[in-house]
Amino acid sequence: DWNKPYKKSARVVGDVIGKYHPHGDTAVYDTIVRMAQPFSMRYMLVDGQGNFGSVDGDAPAAMRYTEVRMSKFAHALLADLEKETVDFSPNYDET
């Protein structure tokens, strides 16, 4: 939910790597950073706390120094996921 406490970005990245994307943390963290930057996306999907870079090209802080949670907009996008409006097919291990 969008109103839950912030979690360390490193923890979120670790969860994603462990469950869905076992190919390194850089791609995952860079994606989280982009979704938290108001100048990169029209609607932010991640509510970030800390240094996520700037429009002037300043780099974001390392994941151990930032915290994230789902944005209110992202929560609204996921609200109807269980209504089965899209047909899903099993993935490679049928989960």
- Tell me the per-residue pLDDT of 62-71, one tens digit each, with 9 for 90 and over: 999 999 999 9
Q: Per residue in 7-37, pLDDT tens? A: 999 999 999 999 988 888 999 999 999 999 9
Stated pTM of the model: 0.83
81, part of any domain: no
- What domain range includes position 32? 7-65
Q: Is-catalytic flag, 65?
A: yes
Per residue in 32-84, pLDDT (tens digit) is 999 999 999 999 999 999 999 999 999 999 999 999 999 999 999 888 888 87
User: Residue 92 falls within a domain, yes or no?
Assistant: no
Residue with the two structure tokens 């791609």: 27
Residue of 6, 29, 65, 92 marked active site = 65
Report d(CA 38, CA 16) in Å as an integer: 23
Q: How many domains does the chain have?
A: 1
Residue 83 lies in a domain: no
